[in-house]
C-alpha cells in the first residue's frame, strides 16, 4: 500500500491545512452540508450563494476531472437555512485514494460544526421495480470498493479506531425525508446502495450477482467513502440516489445517458431538498 493510500501524519497535516484555509474564508453557521453528485449540480441554482471556493484553490485537494462535476464549494442558504454545498466530488476511478477523494469533506467537518451531510449520487437501478428518474433514499450500503478511507493511522480527534456501521444512513433523517416527500408529492424509493470502483459500468454477470447475492437495489461509484468519513466524525448522513439508468434491462449504459437523465430529477430533487432542509437541524 502506498503512503498516499492511508491516513498518515502527513495526511492529517494536509487536512489541518485545508481546514484552516476553509475556516478563514467561510462562516461557521451552516449545520448542513450537501454533496451534489453527477448532474445534480442544478440544485445549486436554487441556493442563495454567499461565497464560493473552487476545488482547485483548496490546499492539497485538486479539481474534479470528470465532465458534469463542477468542482465548487458553495456557502449559502436554502429556504433561509444556511448550508454548504459541494458541487461535484472526486472519485476513486480518477486514480486517487479514498483518503484523497474525501480530503475536502474531512477538512470541512474538521473546521465546522456541520451536523448533517446529505450525499447524493447517480446510480444504476438493480431493483426491477425502479424506473429511470426515481429517487432512492439509501437505507444502507455495501462497500464493493474493497478499500476504506479510514485505513492507516487513526486520528483520535476525528473519531474512533473501529467505528460502528450499523446505521450509516440515519433512520430518523430518512423518516423526515419520507414525510416531506409525501407533503411535496415527490415519490421516494428506499434501498441498498452498492458502491463499486468503476469507471467501467457493470457486466451482465456482475449485475446478476449483485442483485442475487448482495440484494443491492442500486449501484454507483461514489458515496461509500464519504459516508464512512462522515460517520467516523460523528455526523449523520442522508443518502439519496437518483436512478439514472436501469441495469435490469439489456441495454447499453453511457455517461451521456446518465447525465441526460439527471435533467429528469433536478426539479424534484430541488423541490425535496428545499422543503426538507429547514427540518433537518
Ligand atoms: N453503474 C455504476 N455507476 C453508475 C451507474 C451504473 O449503472 N449509473 C450511474 N452511476
Is the shortest distance between the CB of 126 and ligand 1 below 6 Å? no
Is the shortest distance between the CB of 58 and ligand 1 below 6 Å? no
Query: Which one from 16, 148, 154, 255 is the annotated catalytic residue?
Result: 255
> Are 167 and 239 within 8 A, CB to CB?
no
Query: Which one from 18, 19, 36, 38 is the annotated catalytic residue?
Result: 38
> 37, 39, 120, 122: which to mutate for ligand 1, most atoms within 8 A of CB?
122
Residue 19: per-residue pLDDT? 98
Residue 94 falls in the annotated catalytic set: yes
In terms of Cβ atoms closer than 10 Å to its own Cβ (0-12, 13-18, 19+), residue 271 is: middle
Where in the sequence is the domain holding 76, given as residue range(s)? Answer: 3-279
Residue 256: per-residue pLDDT? 81
Number of domains into which the chain is organized: 1
Please give the number of the atom of ligand 1 that sits closest to the Cα of 124. 7
Residue 258: per-residue pLDDT? 77
Neighbours of 73 (CB within 10 A): 24
- CATH number for 121: 3.40.50.1580
Closest CA to 84 of 39, 42, 53, 40: 53
- Parts of the chain with a pLDDT under 70: 1-4, 39, 63-69
pTM, entire model: 0.95
Query: Which one from 64, 97, 121, 222 is the annotated catalytic residue?
Result: 222
Residue 66: per-residue pLDDT? 62
> 194, 247, 251, 252: which to mutate for ligand 1, most atoms within 8 A of CB?
247
Cα(171)–Cα(168) distance, rounded to whole angstroms? 9
Q: What are the CA-CA distances from residue 31 to residues 49, 82, 109, 235, 247 (Å)?
A: 16, 7, 10, 10, 36
Amino acid at each position: 500500500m502506498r503512503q498516499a493510500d492511508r491516513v498518515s501524519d502527513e495526511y492529517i497535516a494536509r487536512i489541518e491545512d485545508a481546514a484552516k484555509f476553509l475556516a478563514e474564508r467561510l462562516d461557521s453557521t451552516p449545520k448542513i452540508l450537501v454533496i451534489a453528485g453527477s448532474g445534480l449540480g442544478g440544485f445549486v441554482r436554487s441556493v442563495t450563494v454567499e461565497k464560493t471556493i473552487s476545488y482547485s484553490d483548496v490546499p492539497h485537494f485538486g479539481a474534479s476531472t470528470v465532465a458534469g462535476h463542477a468542482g465548487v464549494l458553495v456557502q449559502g442558504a436554502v429556504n433561509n437555512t444556511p448550508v454548504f454545498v459541494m458541487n461535484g466530488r472526486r472519485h476513486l476511478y480518477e486514480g486517487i485514494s479514498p483518503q484523497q477523494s474525501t480530503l475536502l469533506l474531512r477538512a470541512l467537518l474538521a473546521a465546522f460544526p456541520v451536523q448533517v451531510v446529505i450525499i447524493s449520487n447517480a446510480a444504476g437501478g438493480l431493483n426491477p421495480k425502479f424506473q429511470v428518474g426515481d429517487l432512492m433514499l439509501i437505507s444502507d450500503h455495501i462497500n464493493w470498493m474493497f478499500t476504506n478511507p479510514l485505513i492507516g493511522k487513526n486520528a483520535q480527534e476525528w473519531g474512533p479506531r473501529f467505528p460502528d456501521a450499523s446505521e450509516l444512513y440515519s433512520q430518523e433523517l430518512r423518516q423526515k425525508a419520507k414525510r416531506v416527500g409525501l407533503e411535496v408529492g415527490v415519490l421516494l424509493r428506499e434501498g441498498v446502495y452498492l458502491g463499486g470502483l468503476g469507471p467501467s459500468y457493470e457486466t451482465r454477470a456482475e449485475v446478476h450477482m449483485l442483485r442475487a447475492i448482495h440484494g443491492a437495489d442500486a449501484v454507483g461509484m461514489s458515496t461509500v467513502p464519504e459516508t464512512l468519513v462522515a460517520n467516523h466524525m460523528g455526523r449523520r448522513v442522508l443518502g439519496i440516489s437518483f436512478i439514472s439508468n436501469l441495469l435490469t434491462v439489456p441495454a447499453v449504459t453511457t455517461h451521456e445517458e446518465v447525465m441526460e437523465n439527471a435533467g429528469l430529477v433536478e426539479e424534484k430533487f430541488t423541490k425535496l431538498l428545499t422543503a426538507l432542509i429547514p427540518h433537518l437541524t
